[in-house]
Amino acid sequence: MKINVRNYTKYLFYLVLVVCIIFIFLFNFYFYPLKYKNEIIQYSSKYSVDSALVASIICSESSFNANSQSEKGAIGLMQLMPSTAQWLCETLDEQFEPKKLFEPDFNIMLGTYYVSYLANKFNDLDLAIVAYNAGEGNVLKWLSVKEYSNDGKKLNYIPYAESENYLSKVKRAYNIYKDRI
């Protein structure tokens, strides 16, 4: 039996191409899940925040695990600190109960409002994302240091490696979610 090398190579190419496409598809859905889409869209719309950004923050914070709790005490999908959540509840005239931070709807509502608040405060999404991770007080402090900011409005350097990595992680996730939500 004679094998046609040209046909074999062509079929092999198509097989590898299909496997790569399947791998990319499965990779995106495994490492970048998308749950609670309706809640994300609802609160993103309500608080004028890009829904892909909210999904990116949730993915980066908790990988969409509503029961997630950090060593530092951050809770739920958007990893809110109870003290921040309490302040957000007071601002929104909501009843604060720490256990409600494990409820996806409540957590997404508060977290999305907080992203909106930070985006409006800093008028810059990168700063808002860094402030979500490092705290707005730290970002305000860094903006006042010439070593970190030339103009007091943008950061040239993020002194916390964790926050710099967090910003990159959220942006990477955003590039996936912007086409999915």
To the query of whether residue 61 is one of the catalytic residues in this protein, the response is: yes
Which of 39, 61, 97, 147 is an active site residue? 61
Buried b (16+ CB within 10 A) or exposed e, 46-75: ebebbbbbbbbbbbbbbebebebeeeeebb
Residue 171: which residues within 8 A CB-CB, separation 6 or more? 56, 129
Residue 27: which residues within 8 A CB-CB, separation 6 or more? none
Rg (CA), the chain: 21
Cα–Cα separations (whole angstroms), residue 168 to 23, 108, 133, 174, 175: 23, 21, 12, 10, 11
Q: Which of 80, 165, 177 is nearest to 130 (CA)?
A: 165
Q: How far apart are CA 52 and CA 115, in angstroms?
A: 12
List, by residue number, the catalytic residues: 61
